[in-house]
Structure 1
Amino acid sequence: MFALGTAALQLQPELPTAVTVVWVAVALAAAVGLAAVLRGRGRAARLSLMAAAALAGFIGAALRADDRLADALPMAWEGRDVPVVGVIDDLPQAFGEGVRFTLAVESAEGPVPSRVQVSWYRGRDDDSPLPRLLPGERWAFALRLKRPHGFVNPAGFDYEAWLLERGVRATGYVRAQPAPRRLHEDAGGWMTRVHRVRAAVRDRFLAALGEAPYAGILVALAVGDQRAIPAEQWEVFRRTGIAHLVSISGMHISLIALLAGGLVNLLWRRVPTLVLRLPARKAGVLAGLAAALGYGLLAGMGIPVQRAAIMLSMAAIALMLGREVAPSRVLALAVLGVLLVDPWAVLAAGFWLSFGAVGAILVLAGGRIGPAARWSAAVRLQLGITLATVPLLVALFHSFPLVSPLANAVAIPLVSFVVTPLALLAMVLPWDLLLEAAHWVTARVMDWSVLLADLPFALWRQAAAPGWALAAGAVGAWMWLLPRPLPGRAGALLMVGLLLGWQPPRPAPGSFRATVLDVGNGLAVHVQTATHDLLYDAGPPYGPLSDAGERVVLPYLAANGVARLDVLVLSHDDADHSGGAGSVLESIAVDEVLAGEGAGFVPAAGVPARACAAGEQWAWDDVGFQVLHPVAGRGPARRNNDDSCVLRIAAGGGSLLLVGDIEQRAEAGLVRGDAAVLASSVIVVAHHGSRSSSSPAFVDAVLPEAAVFSVGYRNMFGHPHPMVWARWAEAGARNWRTDSQGAIAIEVDGSGVTVNAARESAPRYWHGR
């Protein structure tokens, strides 16, 4: 109930006011008082305590959130250069253009939050490496900061929530002038010294293994730093369900405790003087707990590590006191402990998966399963955990691996009892042979995992389901885990089937839905009719290793149950429109590509690609699609923006105009040709609102009800230009923008046009703060 109260707070669009907090506190006191009065009266007293726990979780999380949000960068200070002195307090992470780290701010010439995430980039013409950064170093920087901001798309990753949980209240980058200065080489506390040890282990592992492909996995198992694992390996983990093995979790913590405790127990009992002072069993318990906590610190104390450490601590206390504690109570205390430390843990997938998996183990191995061979019990346990986590995986990731039992059958014993011990031993003994052996075994595990991941049925993809379907699937999964004589158990799988068979509703014939995704300063628009799907542009790249196709478009399509695109339209070859096309073409079936400027820039993917040309028309489900520009056969435009493919989509209730980056010259040509066809209910404004587009004549020809600007937060171009913004508003359009409102959803049906914004449809109290 404490966890539910905490989770309820995290779903609020705004934090409760001071008056609301007072009333909740009064209700909490009343519930506690009622429980005290009803003590010993069974159900009524328990219900009072449950209500008190839920209220305590809610009010505690609210007070913590209010305190954290108060540590903010004022809007007026965004984009300024601020001199800051601070200490690096985590593991710096190198990336293609520089290094990224968290800075604990000690002093600043302005109202800078206490923790900021900083990127230090090399100069454009400077190939020299940046200084090697270590945790605990004190530096003086000039930082240009902005408030936490991320993309907000339906069923997408909430970067602002991720930053909030980690206490990062601003992000920014290092300015070249004045030059950064290292003030002290070791100015941090004891935790930064732990991070230094972690950094030393990570660097030694990577140096010893060189270009070995799975070095990042061994680093993750040793010190919990997963950032050296490349994206393609994470995809294998996702498709096979073995990601938990490279995340230091209860299995690894328990293994360390078992090895250390067993060794101390064995040695302790051979020294009579020690045994007379403290029984060997208790000495082993204390040693195991100390080793587990030490390993947890080296691992960075993530949520699964916290859970395991708290559970081991409870069990150790019970053993030291000579008492028995039910495993379910230990698990409940671990939930309480994690949320007292971090009330935002309920926003993390690891919280639900970690506690859900352990809960399933307790149900399956709680003494209610009849005798069975060890291998049979192990198979049942793995299948039970897989079934129990299906609703969670569908809710969190919109997919689950069907090959997980096969992958884990090989990976769990090898990683747990061979790879992890070798990696941990290599932390103590600097023998490269240990790392080479661990890497060889890891490679065999990955060979098997890649084989399974490549199977066409490896991953079940499931559209984002409503709450009732998720609840039905969760109840069904847990009913199946209960003892066989339970009435109605046979219907449990039917409830899971309701979840897995659910599909999101599509537009009716004669209607369409378009979503302008929040991809930053770029463009990606998904258009859906009753039976067809079109993607107009695929968003920008986000560096050499990531792009909008991978990070935004594909997760959005998966959450909406889209497994195939009938047409991918790439308006022109600017990176902010076509940068994500490669990821899309590699990961989802596409029947055809239409491209402005011809098809020469389209990534090779074995998909037919042809030039977009004015006059082409087609209809899907009583929805018309018409290409208005460019005109076939004419020479190339002076600027490639004017070669953008312009597409108009029309149904009975309204129309949508997609114009890419056309500028005023192309707009003038469209107005001269057939201005009447330009009239549309909604337009995605050309060139993100640049003043080189949206001429007065073009605006007058379109005269939309709504104008959508796809722009990045505080983008360097200043899009949208205030003059352009005002011009569309003066023409009678309501203006929408993705940077402040998130993805923009446009529904066109027989009743007209409806426009909604993601940040307004599902607001959270931390958005924009």
Structure 2
Amino acid sequence: MSWPGRASSRKVEQAVPRRAWGAHRVSPTVVLPAVAVSWAAGTMVALGTDHHAWMASPILDGWGDALPACTAILVVVAVACVAALPLTRWVMVMVLAAGASLGLVLGTHDARVWHACMQSLGITHSDARTLICLTATVVSAPEPSRVADPIMEPRAADRQSVRCSLGSISSTDGHAWPSCATINARIAVEHTDLAIGDRVTVTGWISPMRPSTNPGGYDMSRWARSRFVLGSLFIESSELIRRIGVDPQPIEAWKHRVVQELQAIVSDMAPEQAALCVAMTLGPTSPPMDDIAADCQVTGMTHVLALSGFNVGLVLALAGRMVALTPCRGAMRSVLLVACALLFMASASAGISADRAAVAAMLASGVAGAARGVRAWHAASIVVMVVVLGTPSALLDIGFQLSVVVAVALAAWANRAPRIASAWTRRLMARGEPPESARARLRSVVQWSFTAWIVGTIACMASTPIVMHHFGSITPLVVPGSIVAAPLSAGIVALCTVSLFIASTSTMLASWVVVPAAWCAAAFAVLTDALAGWTGAAWSVEPISGWACVGALACVVMTMRRQRPAAAGPCWHSVLARLWIVPPLVALVWWAWPNPFDLRVTMLDVGNGSAWVVEHNDVVALVDGGSLETPEVGARTIVPALRSLGIQRLTMISLSHADLDHLNGLPSVFERVPVAWLMTTTCVIEGACDGTPSARVMAAASQAGCVVMGIEAQDELLFPSGSWLSLHPHHGVAPFPRNESSLVWIVRANGSSLLLTGDIEETGSRFVRASIGRLQPVGNTLLMELPHHGSFRPGVVSMIELLKPAWIGQSTGPARLVRDRWDWVDASTTRSVTARDGAVRVTVRDGTMTVERWEHGWRAIRDQP
């Protein structure tokens, strides 16, 4: 008996030839995410001209002029093909090319506008400081600030300033700049009568946001580029500000009133908790929460610290999908979406450009959520496309990148995580108990814990490549920390938002509502402090390149993709899917594998100050740690750098003398990093009177359980891998001037030496020159610190000519490069200057010296400028 259906089907299959590659149909469900990815990729390439000079010439010059016309033709052809032809692979390639070209157009236009603004300001490099005069509108309420940090200088409490943001900027010739451009202004006065909406003409010194010049630092230039913040303007006096009119800013004024209302509601809380509630709910930060912000930076939990327009927009996109899946009518779903929009407008305050992008993302999520059963991939894709269309520079922001990747990863695993957690719980705990029994409740808790752990791990896997690209460190505590901190943050935002609505009728009732928010804020502060104190919880490597980041993300996507049910047999497809995670893990281990060395010296860039990290074998020492121009240099610069370098504890801290530019960051280091010893001179110990900066350092060391030891000339510390011999100061040296009583070390480790000179001047240089000549073996690799940040002294010249060091490090600000008195040294030896080279690392191994500078990762110095 024959089967006609099967026979005809077999004949047809034999008759039809094999289709070409381009003739295969493409599923329509992948079109929108693919277009969003290609669009974003093209935009990123164009925006990359700020960090990759080789792309600037073809994109911003000749080829960029013809790009819009070519893109228009390509888009028209792609649309025509989609409308007239089946969706084959060739048509899909055309669509993706059109999306990438459209992204290039958007990114090129944005990059051209940015470069035009920078050139009109006279800013040519990251260290430029230019005197300008411009007309602008005050778009944020002036608030008190400080010119300097009171911990850095006792007199800083009297040096008050006022900070605000300027928008709607136009140059003196009347040429208007983009409406999204802003400038962060700081006025050196105690108070001002400026208000939101005042149109003013100002004169001051503008400097751009600098890129990261230290390991573990955040690239402020990329952040400023993503927010279109042109720079920081310092106005020396209120006489340089002239009010010329009024330009109403109703939205900004309304947001300022909301901030003031919330500040009044939380005024009964502790200052730190009140500042945290305001920051999480509305965005503005204040000095009382500086410690929490520093802890979040160390632990990598900044994403739960404050709201961002990008983050809220993406969350609303996923919320729109959840609303679309609810069993209610379309009208009710629309009402819920509008309620989400109002909640965002009432509770989130991001920058001027971020507001527009977030509102656009919110509207896109509403459109995506209007259809029942809309895919999360499509909602996130629409958000990305709308945000890129509104503010292309948003792609440079790490918050936006993390939000997209984490949201997509969680959407992909939203249904699978509970099933996996349920299966694990069944294996661990058998069923059969009554629903209301204690064992059943324990089973539910275990299942929810597994679900949270799986979701947190997936979010960590998705965000790791991006975090590695920007910072170069992995903090596994981010997963459990975020799982605990995210509900606390959500509770703070929800309660404070509800209190804002209630405050319109009863202020007392609103103050009662925020009481649980204060508890959540206190728990959040305790959590971040505990995680920041766990120094062994970070895995630090050098930041990976952009291509490596993209490759790792592609492997993660292939690992997390949904597997179709296969026929009976070996599940090799599932095994192959899991193998996609192997390449990034192997690359990460290879990247982080430590290289042996005899002596390693890292000179951090702290501006007008000094901070050196010395390593040999199991000895890790921090020599000085201070700055005159970087507030909170310990928490903001030194501690993140130590974590990024993989340093979990310090053998000792050496303090050369009691000047502020050498010690004001040390209290923060003692608080966050375990230290065994504090080595300093007897002059510093005896001069540590109450209220002095050196007394703060001694108190912090004592509180941390650190042993303080006084050092004089000829005292020696012996370690298995080397020794530290003190050459200065000798017994009975005068404590003043402090520079001449600096502690000088000669460090010797496995055939290499390092001379640390502190701030010695003429007398100290001659004394050290006489002491060190007989100690330095012939042919030994000698590294040397240039005394007193590079102050020219004849005794220092003679010491350099005698010792002939292989490398000289100069930690100083840009002022000493205006008239460089030491440029003659560059002809005979390698000299690194932090104001010119940023952070520098010198590694000596088997007599071979390698000098590297920090450029978003260590890069070897080949040609000195």
Would you say same fold, with TM above 0.5? yes
Contact 2:182 2:228 in 1 (8 A): yes
Secondary structure of the corresponding residue to residue 53 of structure 2: coil
Secondary structure of the corresponding residue to residue 842 of structure 2: strand
Q: Cα 1:657–1:200, aligned 2, differ >3 Å: closer, same or farther?
A: same
Partner residue in 2 for 1:744: 840
Partner residue in 2 for 1:141: 202
* Shift in Å, 1:693: 7.2
Contact 1:153 1:758 in 2 (8 A): yes
How much identity, in percent, do the aligned residues show? 20
Secondary structure of the corresponding residue to residue 162 of structure 2: strand
Q: 1:411 aligns with which of 464, 472, 488?
A: 488
What's the CA shift string for 1:544-569, capped at 9, x where partnerless? Answer: xx422111111111112110111211
* Shift in Å, 1:607: 0.4
Q: What is the alpha-carbon distance in structure 2 between the residues aligned to residue 477 and residue 168 of structure 1?
A: 33
Residue correspondences, number: 725
Q: Which moved more, 1:289-298 or 1:130-139?
A: 289-298
Q: What is the alpha-carbon distance in structure 1 between the residues aligned to residue 582 and residue 123 of structure 2?
A: 52
* Shift in Å, 1:406: 5.7
Q: What is the alpha-carbon distance in structure 1 between the residues aligned to residue 415 and residue 483 of structure 2?
A: 24
Q: Cα 1:450–1:723, aligned 2, differ >3 Å: closer, same or farther?
A: closer
Partner residue in 1 for 2:852: 756
Q: Which runs of structure 2 are paired with 1:584-595 in the superposition (5 Å)? A: 584-595=669-680
Partner residue in 1 for 2:769: 671
Q: Cα 1:406–1:175, aligned 2, differ >3 Å: closer, same or farther?
A: closer
Contact 1:240 1:449 in 2 (8 A): no
Contact 1:401 1:460 in 2 (8 A): no
Secondary structure of the corresponding residue to residue 197 of structure 1: helix
The aligned amino acid for 1:645 is L
* Shift in Å, 1:436: 1.7
Q: 1:436 aligns with which of 507, 511, 527?
A: 511
The aligned amino acid for 2:706 is V
Secondary structure of the corresponding residue to residue 247 of structure 2: coil
Q: What is the alpha-carbon distance in structure 1 between the residues aligned to residue 213 and residue 753 of structure 2?
A: 25
What's the CA shift string for 1:283-324, capped at 9, x where partnerless? Answer: 626744752564477554686x7776445423433566x676
Q: Which moved more, 1:60-69 or 1:692-701?
A: 692-701
Secondary structure of the corresponding residue to residue 626 of structure 2: coil
Q: Unpaired runs of 5+ in structure 1?
A: 123-128, 270-278, 764-769
The aligned amino acid for 1:385 is V
The aligned amino acid for 1:462 is W
Q: 2:266 aligns with which of 201, 209, 212?
A: 209
* Shift in Å, 1:572: 1.1
Partner residue in 1 for 2:43: 6
Contact 1:34 1:45 in 2 (8 A): no
Secondary structure of the corresponding residue to residue 366 of structure 2: helix
Partner residue in 1 for 2:821: 724
Q: What is the alpha-carbon distance in structure 2 between the residues aligned to residue 752 and residue 89 of structure 1?
A: 56
Secondary structure of the corresponding residue to residue 71 of structure 1: helix
Contact 2:763 2:795 in 1 (8 A): no
Q: What is the alpha-carbon distance in structure 2 between the residues aligned to residue 251 and residue 112 of structure 1?
A: 29
Larger Rg: 2
* Shift in Å, 1:470: 9.8
Q: What is the alpha-carbon distance in structure 1 between the residues aligned to residue 728 and residue 737 of structure 2?
A: 14
Q: 2:639 aligns with which of 554, 575, 585?
A: 554
* Shift in Å, 1:634: 2.4
* Shift in Å, 1:219: 2.3
* Shift in Å, 1:585: 0.9
Contact 1:522 1:576 in 2 (8 A): yes
Q: What is the alpha-carbon distance in structure 2 between the residues aligned to residue 643 and residue 704 of structure 1?
A: 23
What's the CA shift string for 1:171-217, capped at 9, x where partnerless? Answer: 23112274534443x324xxx32111121222233244336222223
Partner residue in 2 for 1:382: 452
Q: Which runs of structure 2 are paired with 1:184-199 in the superposition (5 Å)? A: 184=245, 186-188=246-248, 192-199=249-256
The aligned amino acid for 1:225 is P
What's the CA shift string for 1:657-703, capped at 9, x where partnerless? Answer: 22111111110112233435479643221222223576432231232
Q: 1:702 aligns with which of 803, 824, 833?
A: 803
Q: Cα 1:306–1:353, aligned 2, differ >3 Å: closer, same or farther?
A: farther
Q: What is the alpha-carbon distance in structure 2 between the residues aligned to residue 95 and residue 62 of structure 1?
A: 37
Q: What is the alpha-carbon distance in structure 2 between the residues aligned to residue 218 and residue 75 of structure 1?
A: 37
The aligned amino acid for 2:408 is G
Partner residue in 1 for 2:92: 46
Q: Cα 1:649–1:617, aligned 2, differ >3 Å: closer, same or farther?
A: same
Contact 2:304 2:485 in 1 (8 A): no
* Shift in Å, 1:250: 3.2
Contact 2:839 2:854 in 1 (8 A): yes
Contact 1:223 1:298 in 2 (8 A): yes
Q: What is the alpha-carbon distance in structure 1 between the residues aligned to residue 459 and residue 77 of structure 2?
A: 37
Q: Which moved more, 1:526-535 or 1:369-378?
A: 369-378
Q: 1:683 aligns with which of 777, 780, 784?
A: 784
2:526 is aligned with 1:463: no
* Shift in Å, 1:742: 1.2
Q: What is the alpha-carbon distance in structure 2 between the residues aligned to residue 526 and residue 497 of structure 1?
A: 29
Q: What is the alpha-carbon distance in structure 2 between the residues aligned to residue 98 and residue 384 of structure 1?
A: 48
Q: What is the alpha-carbon distance in structure 2 between the residues aligned to residue 51 and residue 404 of structure 1?
A: 41
What's the CA shift string for 1:576-596, capped at 9, x where partnerless? Answer: 111111111110011111113
Q: What is the alpha-carbon distance in structure 2 between the residues aligned to residue 366 and residue 561 of structure 1?
A: 37
Q: What is the alpha-carbon distance in structure 2 between the residues aligned to residue 286 and residue 657 of structure 1?
A: 66
Q: What is the alpha-carbon distance in structure 2 between the residues aligned to residue 56 and residue 762 of structure 1?
A: 35
Partner residue in 2 for 1:87: 137
Secondary structure of the corresponding residue to residue 225 of structure 1: coil
Q: Which runs of structure 2 are paired with 1:477-492 in the superposition (5 Å)? A: 479=559, 487-488=574-575
* Shift in Å, 1:625: 3.5
2:659 is aligned with 1:659: no
Contact 2:605 2:838 in 1 (8 A): yes
Q: Unpaired runs of 5+ in structure 2?
A: 1-37, 147-159, 423-442, 566-570, 689-693, 860-865
Q: What is the alpha-carbon distance in structure 1 between the residues aligned to residue 489 and residue 264 of structure 2?
A: 27
Contact 1:215 1:439 in 2 (8 A): no
Q: 2:741 aligns with which of 640, 643, 647?
A: 643
Q: Cα 1:75–1:283, aligned 2, differ >3 Å: closer, same or farther?
A: closer
The aligned amino acid for 2:614 is V
Secondary structure of the corresponding residue to residue 210 of structure 2: coil
**Structure having the larger proportion of residues in helix:** 2
The aligned amino acid for 1:70 is A
2:312 is aligned with 1:250: yes
* Shift in Å, 1:641: 0.7
Q: What is the alpha-carbon distance in structure 2 between the residues aligned to residue 660 and residue 89 of structure 1?
A: 45
Q: What is the alpha-carbon distance in structure 2 between the residues aligned to residue 749 and residue 518 of structure 1?
A: 24
Secondary structure of the corresponding residue to residue 697 of structure 1: helix
Q: Which runs of structure 2 are paired with 1:499-510 in the superposition (5 Å)? A: 504-508=592-596
2:165 is aligned with 1:117: no
* Shift in Å, 1:152: 0.9
What's the CA shift string for 1:220-278, capped at 9, x where partnerless? Answer: 354332346602333565659585274254399759999xx99xx99xx9xxxxxxxxx
Q: Which moved more, 1:548-557 or 1:404-413?
A: 404-413
Partner residue in 1 for 2:226: 165
Contact 1:463 1:502 in 2 (8 A): no
Q: What is the alpha-carbon distance in structure 2 between the residues aligned to residue 704 and residue 207 of structure 1?
A: 61
Q: What is the alpha-carbon distance in structure 1 between the residues aligned to residue 96 and residue 193 of structure 2?
A: 52
* Shift in Å, 1:441: 0.7
2:506 is aligned with 1:423: no
Q: What is the alpha-carbon distance in structure 1 between the residues aligned to residue 104 and residue 809 of structure 2?
A: 37
Q: Cα 1:48–1:443, aligned 2, differ >3 Å: closer, same or farther?
A: same
What's the CA shift string for 1:469-524, capped at 9, x where partnerless? Answer: 99669846984685798713777898898799788444525x22211111111111
Contact 1:83 1:141 in 2 (8 A): yes
Partner residue in 2 for 1:583: 668
2:652 is aligned with 1:567: yes
Q: Which moved more, 1:35-44 or 1:144-153?
A: 35-44
Q: Cα 1:424–1:528, aligned 2, differ >3 Å: closer, same or farther?
A: same
Q: What is the alpha-carbon distance in structure 1 between the residues aligned to residue 818 and residue 728 of structure 2?
A: 24
